[in-house]
Structure 1
Amino acid sequence: RCFFVNTFSVLCLLPQAVLTRWACVRACPASCSCTQEKSCSVLCDRSGIAEVPKEFPCEASAINLDKNALKFLSERAFGTLPALKLLSLDHNNISFITPGAFKGLANLVELKFANNDYISYLHTRTFSGLKKLVRLDMSNCNLFNIPDRIFLEQPALKEVLCFENHFRRIPGAFRGMENLTHLYLERNRIEAVAYNSLLGLGSLKYLNLQENRINVIHDGAFQDLLRLENFYFNDNLLCDLPRFAFRGLVRLKMLNLGGNLLTNVSKTWFGDLVELEVLYLDRNQLLNIEEGTFENLTSLITLHLNSNNLTTLPLPVFQPVYLLGRLFLFRNPWVCDCSLEWLKGWKESYQLVRDIPCASPSSVAGLDLSEVVFARVNGTCVDPGELNLTTAPSEIASTTENRFNSLISKLLQQEIREEMGNGTESLRNGTLLDPEDGRLSAGVGGHRAQASQSILCVIAVWLFLDLIGRSDMNPCLSCT
């Protein structure tokens, strides 16, 4: 049903470009506008059209019927348009597409009928005749499923957009589509990925399954996705993954597992992801990351671990880090003790991570890890909860030593006074005071032993209290 222009002899004298432009405009449907730039485009969007126009220019390469009131597409609804490459039917009220509605569009490359809320069913022969179709957009309709054999005549199909429908499983129609490179299935109601859901998709590079209800992934579900590069699996209901969930995905560059219910990260998950550059594990409930989890991620640039329940991140878990450029750790209840001393040093050295707020111990709660003081005693790290954080480490050591020496001196003087005040008892027990240096000289009596026992007790108590940050308390001066 394209419009053929009757040519006159005078038209034969005009340049071909002028003739084409004239034919495109001359055959333009009512309520539409036609432009001829590189090719003939028919613009009928926002025109209040309730039925598909009866005639289009035969030269039309693109037709836009978006945001109209179309309700029904009959068989061969657009006639024969051999030059048509793009047909857009977005935002209409289409409820039924007759089988063979697109026959006559043999060279159509892209078909769009997204945002048609009344389309809940597609016939097996809906796309009959579209053998050169490369891109299909049927997102945000009311589809609950599509027939398994619906794409048999579309061997060139590379990109399918099916997001925001009502699929409860991945349609079997996609299995075996060897040329499919992009598949959009986000914001459906998919509950599981079966072992055969994605079989035969050896060319797939982009897969989006985010914002579904997936809680089960079968072993080997992704085994054929050997060329996959971008994988969105975020905002589902995953509590765990198969042991070798991503085995064979050696070309994967971006993996998003954020917004799930994962509590543990297994070192077996990412073993084959040698080209992975970006990994999202944020917004889960992670408590533990197994040692060796990241050891094969030699291309990793960005790692998101924020918004989890992590309290510590041992160095062996995080080694080796090769080309990491960004690390996100905020919104975790970090325990800023000596186990994170390495992370503070790494943060200061490489400036690749910010915002590591401490949740405990109480002495540093609310501080960033970069503000925490880690002192050392005899080469051993001392947790910040055991120190006065307003004092520099050298001052802490000096103050502690002075107070300790002072206490020992007072105890000795107290023992001396007691000995001198009771000379008879001292002589009886053989305990004498050396007049030259004020030290007690031992005899065979028990006061020397009692004094030594008291001093040793005080030393032990003092060291204990000092270690738990309570050196300002009065130590017990007697032991039983």
Structure 2
Amino acid sequence: MGVFHPFSAVLLLSCSVLCDHSALAELPKEFPCEALSINVDKNRLKFLSERAFGTLPSLRSLSLDHNNISFITPGAFKGLPNLVDLKMAHNEYISYLHTRTFAGLKKLARLDMSDCNLFNIPDRIFVEQMALREVLCFQNKFRRIPGAFRDMVNLTHIYLEKNKIEAVAYNSLLGLGNLRYLNLEENRINVIHYRAFQDLLRLENCYLNDNLLTDLPRDCFQGLTRLKTLNLGGNLLTNVSKTWFSDLVELEVLYLDRNRLLAIEEGSFENLTSLITLHLNSNNLTALPFPVFQPVYFLGRLYLFKNPWECGCSLEWLKEWMESYKLVRNIPCASPSSVAGLDLGEVVFGRANGSCVDPPELNATAAWLAPSTTEDRFHSLLSRLLQLELRDETGNGTEYLRNGSLPEAALSAGARGQAVGSRRPHVYPLVTWLLLGFGGRLEFGFGVFGT
């Protein structure tokens, strides 16, 4: 069409106008009135005047992504009465929106303002947009959840990840009875107020991961009986309370990974009868008592790696579960020392009177009790005997020998008598026996012994 002649990149295809990558500094003066969609992505647009697109009654989709827009005149979209989808993402100079920015867009259902520079939006900015269903405002600079979302009864999806939000207030999400999807990941949330989610009775997916939460209110998710995915990973939680998930009867996926969990209260998962996948990896858990999991009948995947597991009898049930159902693997043991570094599946539990016996801790003196070579054994023992001779003359040497681990044959009757009757001579028969036993010639520290 003649009106598009100056812009060689503009094509009219099935009522769609494509002006992307055209180095446009301003919009064309006219667009075809029958256009269903307009794409002016990746240009150099800086300013949208009032009625910037004229009157386009057929237009359903408008994309202005990746421009340099810094100001939108109130009423810029008037004349687009049937616009459903508006994309203005990746305009880094947009830091402010007027209350009347979206005036006239009464059928707007989807708005994308992601990756801009917004600090807030006016509370009444969506007063005409009661049909709005999806709002994407991730990667901005919001410090609170915009009050503009309250009472948007048709809103189903809110994307607010990668902002600077610090709290979910008790009134932040009021009136959102049809919300299905809420994403607040990668913010700075350190507190969630009591009953903050009370109106989200249809919520199915909630992402609160990678924030600064250290605790949650007692009945944080009360009433969310339709929730299917809950992500609390990457926070600072140290325990799991049995009050948190009591209403989540349809929950299928729960993320508690990358926290600082030390304990899980018994009964925490007892109502999660629909749970399929549970992520507990990358925490500080050492034990996992069986009663914590006993009610979770249908669990399909359990992730437990990167925890300092204490592989004692309290985890024997988990090993058996691993072997029977193949639903969990990679559980490296941190203690006791005799099994440290092994996977739980490789640990062999002992039995005494039919009961499980914990693997032992390695004795710190085990290396002396079982030296690696014959010469090492001689050096170690002789060194200990010589140290006895340097003790104060208190008569404790013979008592030490009686309680030691030397062979009885090493002490002849005469040697024993000598040891009892004198403070020091008891060492020499032993040294003689040791030297004879080691072939009559060994070097030891300061000299050479021989027979």
In the aligned structure 2, how far is the partner of 1:188 from the partner of 1:53?
A: 34
Q: Provide Cα deviations, 1:438-461, integer angstroms capped at 9, x if missing partner.
A: xxxxxxxxxxxxxxxxxxxxxxxx
> What is the DSSP-based 3-state SS (H/G/I as helix, E as strand, rest coil) of the residue aligned with 1:87?
strand
Match status 1:30 vs 2:10: no
> What is the DSSP-based 3-state SS (H/G/I as helix, E as strand, rest coil) of the residue aligned with 1:60?
coil
In the aligned structure 1, how far is the partner of 2:4 from the partner of 2:23?
A: 16
In the aligned structure 1, how far is the partner of 2:311 from the partner of 2:46?
A: 63
Task: Give the superposed CA RMSD.
Answer: 1.6
- Paired residue for 2:282? 307
Match status 1:49 vs 2:18: no
Does the CA-based 8 Å contact 1:148-1:172 persist in structure 2?
A: yes
Match status 1:83 vs 2:58: yes
- Paired residue for 1:321? 296
> What is the DSSP-based 3-state SS (H/G/I as helix, E as strand, rest coil) of the residue aligned with 1:56?
coil
CA shift at 1:166, angstroms? 0.5
CA shift at 1:35, angstroms? 3.6
In the aligned structure 2, how far is the partner of 1:27 from the partner of 1:312?
A: 73
Is there any run of 5+ residues in structure 2 with no aligned partner, and where? 364-407, 414-451
Does the CA-based 8 Å contact 1:75-1:102 persist in structure 2?
A: yes
Does the CA-based 8 Å contact 1:166-1:189 persist in structure 2?
A: yes
Q: For 1:258-297, what aligned pairs fall within 5 Å after superposition?
A: 258-297=233-272
- Name the CA shift for 1:29/1:270 in 2 (closer, same or farther; >3 Å): farther
Greater Rg, structure 1 or structure 2? 1
In the aligned structure 2, how far is the partner of 1:331 from the partner of 1:386?
A: 21
Does the CA-based 8 Å contact 1:234-1:257 persist in structure 2?
A: yes
- Paired residue for 2:180? 205
TM-score, length basis structure 2: 0.79
Is there any run of 5+ residues in structure 1 with no aligned partner, and where? 1-24, 389-412, 419-480
TM-score, length basis structure 1: 0.75
Match status 1:227 vs 2:202: yes
CA shift at 1:26, angstroms? 5.6
Identity across matched positions, percent: 79
- Name the CA shift for 1:321/1:278 in 2 (closer, same or farther; >3 Å): same
CA shift at 1:34, angstroms? 2.2
Does the CA-based 8 Å contact 1:264-1:287 persist in structure 2?
A: yes
Does the CA-based 8 Å contact 2:337-2:361 persist in structure 1?
A: no
Does the CA-based 8 Å contact 2:337-2:362 persist in structure 1?
A: no
In the aligned structure 1, how far is the partner of 2:6 from the partner of 2:93?
A: 26
- Paired residue for 1:215? 190
Of the candidates 147, 157, 164, which is equivalent to residue 132 of structure 2?
Answer: 157
In the aligned structure 2, how far is the partner of 1:70 from the partner of 1:205?
A: 35
In the aligned structure 2, how far is the partner of 1:50 from the partner of 1:336?
A: 66
> What is the DSSP-based 3-state SS (H/G/I as helix, E as strand, rest coil) of the residue aligned with 2:36?
strand
> What is the DSSP-based 3-state SS (H/G/I as helix, E as strand, rest coil) of the residue aligned with 1:204?
coil
Amino acid at match of 1:53: P
Of the candidates 56, 72, 79, which is equivalent to residue 104 of structure 1?
Answer: 79
- Paired residue for 2:405? none
Of the candidates 323, 326, 329, which is equivalent to residue 351 of structure 1?
Answer: 326
CA shift at 1:42, angstroms? 0.5
Does the CA-based 8 Å contact 1:29-1:53 persist in structure 2?
A: no
Match status 1:74 vs 2:70: no
CA shift at 1:323, angstroms? 1.2
CA shift at 1:33, angstroms? 2.5
